[in-house]
Structure 1
Amino acid sequence: MEFYRSVSEFTMPTHERRFFLRPALSLAGVFSALLAISGCVSAASGTESSEPDIGKPLTTLSTKDLRLPLESYLPTAGQVREFDRARLVLVNRCMQRFAFSYKVDVPAVEGSTDSNSRRYGITDSSLAAKKGYGLATDAEAHPATPELGADEQTVLYGEGASSLDGRAVPEGGCLGEASRGLDAHSPKGADFTLTQQLAFTSFKQAQEDSRVRKVVKAWSDCMAEQGYHYANPLAPLSDPKLGDGTGADAIRTARVDLDCKTRTNLVGVSFTVESAYQQRLIKQSAELVKATKEARDARLRVADSLV
């Protein structure tokens, strides 16, 4: 549930950005979008004002082996790649009916396999010592996409003429046809984006929880003692003063950041509290998350048959 990756990867617009000539968000832009979205998303089936009991918070800095409850219902980064590849197979089959070809290589999943490595800010000490706030690899390479003529764009997107050379263009173009084919056996009403919204909701709820507010303030005060002034652990990730996040200043800031996280147990408290909110949301939205999991599994079966 890594924000800079999963904030939009489960939805069709991301696949359009990556493989169908749509622009991609920068890392800082994704974090800004995350904070904006998390501020306006509400729970799908109501909210409870009481703070859930969490018992004794986990003590940890690393999120490497941690999995939030909702992750059991959503695709992994590797599964998203399978969906991408299967979708492109279906798109190309459709395009071939119109004597066109659309072949794109799907890049391998790179970087950290820790799905929560930046949910509460940076958490990887060894990476931070080398790259500060930078990622383990360079920004994800976007595959080269074919040059499209006007007719090819009409067939791919379904925008423009409703037919070409006497053959009807599918609703939503070959892209729409491929999406419908990929989800042909998914339960009615299943929507990955709704369950993803629950993940944003849990993040927002946890950030408003008194125990998380307390530990974030402790982290912020700890940073301030060393001359670094940030309101929350996501703020350094989009600080323009740190440039691309990999310079000497960024590495020094990251070192203090992680030390303060260790001192305050920010990651352990945040993860424990958010897990409790996610369990509550799963209980409130049992049918929704069940349908999402069934849709994921159905989509995987289709993808396995194609790739």
Structure 2
Amino acid sequence: MTCPAPVHIPTKDLFRLDGRTIFVSGGAGALGTTVGKAILESGGDVLFSDMSLPNVDTWREIEKTSTANRTKAFYYQLNATEADHFPKSFDTIRNMLRFPLRGLVACAGISGECDACDYPVDVFRKIVDVNLMGTFLIARAVAKEMHTANVTGSMVLVASMSGWVANKGINTAPYNASKSAIHQLTRSLAAEWGHPQNTFPGRTPGDANPNPDEERKPYPPIRVNSLSPGHIETPITDAAKQRGLQEHWEKQNMLGRISQPEEYRAPTLFLLAEGSSFMTGADLRVDGGHCAW
């Protein structure tokens, strides 16, 4: 199943998201709240989701933004790694929304610094579980909603420049590995959900295919891209500032500073909206030139 190229959309509307709902995981964090507000300003409703409740003042600003733009902001508390809760949660979410889910920004993620030889196994597994498995579970759940509604969609999986390079001077092996995995997850989901011809007919029987003879249904295409930020100044970086790491990070990119959450608004809107209609399976690296030295 293919969809025609959106050639008749006026240039001024290429970043618009009217008539659709975008799911933002990690929606209580600095990046999630910032890009979520940008989506509201661009005509889309936003379902913010996170393990923790949003800051009261921040949520008040989000509601002001949605009111000013005649859009809707919703919040749903969800642990992205608890797959058993997803069916019931999405039954509730579906009934909250005005418009079908047609987009995802997967921001939820954690990190932790430790030398590899000393890295606690349970902490390593948690980072991979949240960053990789949590992203996959959210993407799968949102894709199922798009399939049920028979609509096209676009997903932005937040990876990192750390998926391309090892971070100089700071030992974060599981974080780096999980973000590199997001790049490959992006390509794999983009291939699978882009067009039925991308998958060979039939299925090999096995634990993952209990019903190998079940026929696949064709669905409208879902584009999947990743966004790889560079270092971002957020409340989480306060400890790095105290150690003097920010000064080192600023010297490691071509612009001589670290980024602000607001600088990811336009890249995210571009990937979600029709401005990137022929872009899928790609990574948009926004790192101040860090990886281009």
TM norm structure 2: 0.26
Name whichever structure is richer in helix by fraction. 1
With the length of structure 1 as denominator, give the TM-score of the two structures.
0.25
Task: With a CA cutoff of 8 Å and minimum separation of 6, indicate the structure with the bigger relative contact order.
Answer: 1
The structure where strand makes up a greater share of residues is: 2
